[in-house]
Amino acid sequence: MSIGNETISLVASGKTVLVVGATSSLARALCHTLAREGYGLVVTGRDEEEINLLAGDIVLRHNVPVMTLTEDFLSEYFTAESFIARSGEFDHIIITTGTMGSGDPLSLNDIAFTSHINYTLPAQIATLAAQKFAATGDGSIVIISSVAGDRGRQSNYAYGSAKAALTAFASGLRNYFYKQGVHVMTVKPGFIDTPMTWGMQSPLIASREYVAGKIVQSMHKKKDVIYVPFFWRYIMLIIMHIPEGIFKKLKL
């Protein structure tokens, strides 16, 4: 186990997964799901104390090798190139970075911030990971998008449009690197029991453990695009086919 910012290669019997943005609720569940299956982990995030606590918990519960990497993705000095270089050796990557933003649809700063976290940052990291995996002809990239990217809605169109861009990017990346042995999977979660949904009462809210399990299972099966839970595929299919004249009058 390595705690701290040093780049140390993991010595593990299995594969290693780099989890980008590992301290979010869903990412934590993903880390534990992967560790239970014997994967070594590189866990990354902005808060060093949180990352170290997460790593210690994983090692204690699952006895797998863990490396920590504290990285401020919002720093003016951040570059995707240095981040990938400092992450050591890994066989798969799961990119979970995301933010709903302030919720102010008219804030230009918020549009820029939301676009950076939900699209630009994961796109840059995924591109470098794909190039790394293409050199060996193997590796999986799991990109967490959202059902919100399937159609722009008045309640969160800045967030939704950034996720729509990420979904389109993942599709292109998958197509570009497919023949080089790189697997790219797009994940479109619906409502999950995270801080974003606290206070909401809905039968559509899925547990983060369930979602994490489905993501890892689908990564094994090398799925291209998944909706989690599955029924969101049909909900969004209906929403996408509502005529614009009607849709713009709805409070969604």
Q: What is the pLDDT of residue 56?
A: 96
- CATH number of the domain residue 158 falls in: 3.40.50.720
Q: What is the mean pLDDT of each run of 10 residues along the chain (252 residues)?
A: 39 76 94 96 95 96 95 92 95 94 86 95 98 96 97 91 97 98 97 68 83 97 97 96 94 82
Would 171 be classed as within a structural domain?
yes
Would 47 be classed as within a structural domain?
yes
Would 10 be classed as within a structural domain?
no
Would 2 be classed as within a structural domain?
no
Would 140 be classed as within a structural domain?
yes
Q: What is the pLDDT of residue 33?
A: 97
Q: What is the pLDDT of residue 103?
A: 79
Full residue range of the structural domain in which residue 194 is found: 16-247
Would 5 be classed as within a structural domain?
no
Number of structural domains (the chain) is 1
Would 45 be classed as within a structural domain?
yes
Report d(CA 197, CA 206) in Å as an integer: 10
Would 189 be classed as within a structural domain?
yes
